[in-house]
Amino acid sequence: MAAKTLTIDGKQISAEEGASVLQAASEAGITIPTLCHLEGVYDVGACRLCLIEVKGIPKLLPACTTKVAEGMEVSTDSERLRKYRRMTLELLFAERNHVCAVCVANGHCELQTLAYSLGMDHVRYDYNFPKWGVDTTHRLFGMDHNRCILCARCVRTCWHVEGAGTKNVAGRGSKSKIISDLNQPWGHSESCTECGKCVMSCPTGALFRKGSTVGESERDRTKLEFIVTAREKKQWNA
Amino acid sequence: MSVNLTNPEQPPVKPVAEAKHPSGDKRFKILEVHMKKLQFKQDALIEVLHKAQELFGYLEDDVLLFISAKLKLPPSRVYGVATFYHFFTLKPKGEHTCVVCMGTACYVKGADKVVEAVQNQLKIRAGETTTDNKVSLLTARCIGACGIAPAVVYDGTVIPRQTPESAMEQINKWVQS
Amino acid sequence: MTLNDLFQIKETELFARKKIVLRCCMAAGCMSSNSKGVKEQLEKAVIDAGLQNDIEVRGVGCMKLCCEGPLVQADPQEALFVKVTEKNAPSILTAIKGGKTDVTQADPHSAFFTKQLSIVLANSGVVDPERIESYITQDGYQALHDVLTEMTPKDVVETMVKSGLRGRGGAGFPTGIKWGTVAKSPGAKKYVICNADEGDPGAFMDRSVLESDPHSVLEGMAIAAYAVGADQGFIYVRAEYPLAIARLQTAIKQAKIMGLLGAGIFETPFHFNVDIRIGAGAFVCGEETALMMSVEGKRGTPRPRPPFPAESGLFGCPTLLNNVETFANVPAIYRNGAEWFANIGTEKSKGTKVFALAGKIKNTGLIEVPMGTPLRTIVEEMGGGAPDGGQIKAVQTGGPSGGCIPAEHLDTPVDYESLGKLGSIMGSGGMIVMDESTRMVDVARFFMEFCMDESCGKCIPCRAGTVQMHNLLEKILQRKATARDLALLEELCDMVRNTSLCGLGQTAPNPTLSTLRFFRNEYEALLQPDAHGPRSTQTETTTK
């Protein structure tokens, strides 16, 4: 593979052809905030947190789906980008009911962590306070739609890693909802393999293991990447 | 509005497969023949849903499961697609439907007042059906009949230049029938 | 099928043509006013009068003056009968024989008609959309023949580049360059898609073209397919257009029987098939990547570009996507030459544009004018101004992605650049006239509600941002908002415009921004004093 040289935030780096700007940045030790991105499953460019400025292109581009190019000049942390990221988070916090203090993911939540790191200290929009339910019909797991940010990481994991296709997005717009099978209680789902990968993939406390407390809810996401890499590179031969 | 997806001039395809649905409902057989005509292709899902809605009036869970099994798609995928598009409905519609176009041209010419009048009269909101299952009130994004705004579709027939009064008149005919 | 066969069909048609043709509009607008019944009664009246050898009653497509429908026009007398009812049929026959009639007539030489220049709509209201012979009589499919037998695909692309045609779907991307990109993309399988998911409320140009002249779109698609090397086409039509779907199905079937679609067209190795895909009520599917998802039978959610459809589109293959009106322009360009087309319009916007004129205006209907025609000509001369002596306040173009142009800018020529400068867009061609009774904040709220409902929900700025912008507009309308809320709204508009994934979100703030630009006083009049003092400036400093 040919290498491409580019600059990210003034730093000269080289990356493999075909790599995303996000990969290239992370290899060079530059962190770009992400939310819908998950190592191991394909990217969709939906959360818009990883937007970057590329010299010569008027539009902002998502780092996760933008491929590196020779001579590209990328800026990942401008004042404008930081402002947009804070606003994106504000919109998320106002959209559903995110109450960190009583959340199983408190302390291990990507949404919370991002809000801290990006300095989003208050929400200026009116909270929507929608009435979303909690599905605790599953033997092992629960789903609290109030904490869902619709990143669809669970959907992608369920389909592309586990291959079960239990989860999907139903409805559209702000009424979108993560469903199991035909929008039935998760516990009644016939396709769910109870593998728990969706719980691993969830960035917030929307999907959780039953009986989990705040202290226990640390997730091992590297497993997903490990499985996919092992499969692709045929390293794991039975 | 119903859309006829099959070509009426084409000879009906001979049913080849036996009805596989335990309910014995013949419509499942027709739906399966239609899917077979589309070679059970997964990318034909929307076409199949159109046909199913035409046959059953709405998409009940049974129908969605049947489609999911035949097209070999996860049920969640079929449900996700069916709920993404506004044309598909998962609840039964009333005997009569009144679709008020709420496109821009109709809106600036008072379509909102037509909706309001019908809502008040039937005591339902747009998107709902009366409790006696007689009338469903729906709004449309734009039916492309802007030259004759405001337009209302009564049971599939587009009627031009509607007013709150003319709409109530039509609704009354239905309610009293 | 050979060129000779085409000529033969044309001659037979011309030979059989009767002295007088009564054209009845059979497009969806007039059909809803019972034009079908009118046509049947006219046919009956002709037989009753024993004139069936002299008079042909022909069902045709849109005759443009939709507000006066049902329309009937007599050739060669030119008399245009309006608001015709079934009872009028005998009286119309009397009139064309030179007698007196009480049926209302419109002036076919009024500005509404004479200021039009028809390329896309040339056959609309003239040919019978349900008979391919009628299209062939207007030299239909000759351009396809010439392209297939005399030009290389490269020449075809070059001609398109020279013509200067730009995409009529809204964004105005040069069509020739798009064709060239798809042609150059490597891949054994390529697709051509016609976007007929005309979702903008207030727009019905594409519906009229499909209902009135479906073969011009098919011919355009076939020429495009030859240029880019595709063998399969799809037309994605809204489910809300049942008549357009039916006419397209008929047209495709007839073209297949005649060998104008399918294998070995005009005895060349070129083969091309067209299938119809029916939408299911999702505005976002007008966005090209969402449309392709929908054609694949999936949820119509857009995906980031690049890769562009020209490189990786439908089923991962290079795909050419153009709008109905764009394809309908194609046959005329190859019939008359790129230079002919490039001579029409302005320097950067060539050709004509079809607009659907609606709202608070006397003459509503379909118009086709050369690019660069001032808005005033369209609205005042052709449209006849506001009805009942009202005052025009603004013209909305581009639907939920466009903006409101205030009356003082009516002298703006309609072309991509001029409308863009005013914060609006050409859009697909919806043009809604608003008079002084229209409240602009309400208009902004109406469009925001539209975008909120139609947001697919995939990306956060559009999904959650439209909800918040709608909340703020509601708040302003209810007189509960302060200057701080207005500042929040403006900030959100900027953010959603710059960060959304697809065109829907990126343009959703446009109606709000344009009304804020030209009618800010209407917003400010609704604001309440801020109990906490004027802190709007402080909001700015904390966020910048």
Confirm or reject CATH 3.40.50.150 for domain C353-438, answering yes or no: no
B-C contacts (CB, under 8 Å): 156
φ, ψ for residue A100, nearest 5 deg: -60, -40
A87 contacts chain C (CB < 8 A): yes
The CA-atom distances, in angstroms, between C450 and each of A181, B124, C323, C406 are 29, 21, 22, 22
How high is the pLDDT of residue B29? 94
- Is it the case that residue C168 has pLDDT exceeding 60? yes
Q: What is the domain-level CATH number for residue B107?
A: 3.40.30.10
How high is the pLDDT of residue B10? 46
Instruction: Tell me the pLDDT of chain C averaged across its residues.
Output: 93
Pick the CATH number of A101-225 from 3.30.70.20, 3.30.1520.10, 3.10.20.30, 3.40.228.10: 3.30.70.20
How high is the pLDDT of residue B105? 85
Token pair in block for residue C132: 């391919």
What mean pLDDT comes out for the span C443-467?
96
- Is it the case that residue C487 has pLDDT exceeding 80? yes
| Of residues B83 and A221, more confidently modeled | B83
B106 and B62 housed in the same domain: no
Distance separating alpha carbons of residues B3 and C251, to the nearest angstrom: 17
Mutant choice from C204, C438, C441 vs B, greatest count of B C-beta within 10 A: C204
A21: distance to nearest CA of chain B, Å?
31
Do B134 and B175 form a contact (C-beta atoms < 8 A)?
yes
Chain C CB contacts of B159 under 8 Å are 32
Write the CATH number of the domain with boundaries C441-543.
Answer: 1.20.1440.230
Q: Are strands C20-25 and C72-75 parallel, antiparallel or unpaired?
A: antiparallel
Question: How is chain C split into domains, by residue range?
Answer: 18-108, 140-342, 353-438, 441-543
Residue type, position B59, single letter: L
| Of residues C77 and C141, more confidently modeled | C141
Instruction: Tell me the pLDDT of chain B averaged across its residues.
Output: 85
Q: Cα C90 to chain center, whole Å?
A: 36
What mean pLDDT comes out for the span B14-27?
62
What mean pLDDT comes out for the span A159-179?
96
The chains found to touch A (3+ Cβ pairs under 8 angstroms) are: B, C
Chain C residue with CA closest to B53: the answer is C280
Question: How is chain A split into domains, by residue range?
Answer: 3-77, 101-225
Say if the Cβ atoms of B160 and C29 lie within 8 Å.
yes
Q: What is the domain-level CATH number for residue B68?
A: 1.10.10.1590
How high is the pLDDT of residue C534? 57
**H or E element, residue C472:** helix C460-477
B127 contacts chain A (CB < 8 A): no
Q: Are strands A73-75 and A3-8 parallel, antiparallel or unpaired?
A: parallel
Domain spanning C140-342: CATH superfamily: NADH-ubiquinone oxidoreductase 51kDa subunit (3.40.50.11540)
B82-129 tens-digit pLDDT: 999 999 999 888 889 999 988 888 888 889 999 999 999 999 998 888
Do B17 and B29 form a contact (C-beta atoms < 8 A)?
yes
Q: Which of C299, C452, C459 sits opposite A48 (nearest CB)?
A: C459
Q: Which of B45, B84, B103 sits opposite C202 (nearest CB)?
A: B103
How high is the pLDDT of residue B18? 43
The CA-atom distances, in angstroms, between C78 and each of C20, C96, C107 are 10, 10, 9
Q: Give B129's contacts (C-beta < 8 A, 6+ positions apart).
A: B91, B92, B93, B94, B135, B136, B137
C468-486 tens-digit pLDDT: 999 999 999 999 999 999 9
List Cβ<8 Å contacts ≥24 apart for B52-59.
Answer: B53/B87, B53/B88, B53/B89, B54/B2, B54/B3, B54/B4, B54/B5, B55/B27, B55/B30, B55/B31, B56/B27, B57/B92, B57/B93, B58/B89, B58/B90, B58/B91, B58/B92, B58/B93, B59/B88, B59/B89, B59/B90
Residue A129, SS3? coil
Q: Which of A65, A125, A173 sits opposite C463 (nearest CB)?
A: A173
How high is the pLDDT of residue A218? 64
C contact residues 322-381, partner B, Cβ 8 Å cutoff: 356, 358-360, 364-366
B141-163 tens-digit pLDDT: 888 788 888 999 999 888 989 99
CATH T-level assignment (fold) for domain A3-77: Ubiquitin-like (UB roll) (3.10.20)
HSE (side-chain half, CA atoms, 13 Å) at C513: 23
Domain boundary (B45, B71, B91) is at B91
Number of domains in chain B: 2
pLDDT band at C105 (very low <50, low <70, confident <90, very high): very high
**How does DSSP classify residue C387?**
G
How high is the pLDDT of residue C98? 85
C250-278 tens-digit pLDDT: 999 999 999 999 999 999 999 999 999 99
A32-59 tens-digit pLDDT: 999 999 999 999 999 999 999 999 999 9
Rounded to whole angstroms, the maximal C-alpha distance in chain B is: 53
What mean pLDDT comes out for the span A68-81?
96
| Of residues C295 and C530, more confidently modeled | C295
Do C422 and C410 form a contact (C-beta atoms < 8 A)?
no
Q: Which of A62, A94, A175 sits opposite C468 (nearest CB)?
A: A94
A204: distance to nearest CA of chain C, Å?
15
Do A3-77 and A101-225 agree at the fold level? no
C198 contacts chain B (CB < 8 A): yes
Say if the Cβ atoms of B105 and C253 lie within 8 Å.
no
- Is it the case that residue C539 has pLDDT exceeding 90? no
Q: Which of C16, C14, C36 is nearest to C25 (CA)?
A: C36
B13 and B61 housed in the same domain: yes
CATH T-level assignment (fold) for domain C18-108: Glutaredoxin (3.40.30)
- Is it the case that residue C538 has pLDDT exceeding 70? no
- The ipTM assigned to this model is 0.91
Distance separating alpha carbons of residues C188 and A135, to the nearest angstrom: 48
Do C11 and C134 form a contact (C-beta atoms < 8 A)?
no
What mean pLDDT comes out for the span C323-349?
96
Q: Which of C198, C280, C297 sits opposite B88 (nearest CB)?
A: C280
C29-41 tens-digit pLDDT: 899 889 999 999 9
C170-222 tens-digit pLDDT: 889 999 999 999 999 999 999 999 999 998 888 899 999 999 999 999 999 99
Token pair in block for residue C394: 């603004």
Ranges A3-7, B132-136, C386-390, most confident: A3-7
A-C contacts (CB, under 8 Å): 95
* Percentage of chain C exceeding pLDDT 90: 88
Residue-range definition of the domain harbouring residue B46: 1-91
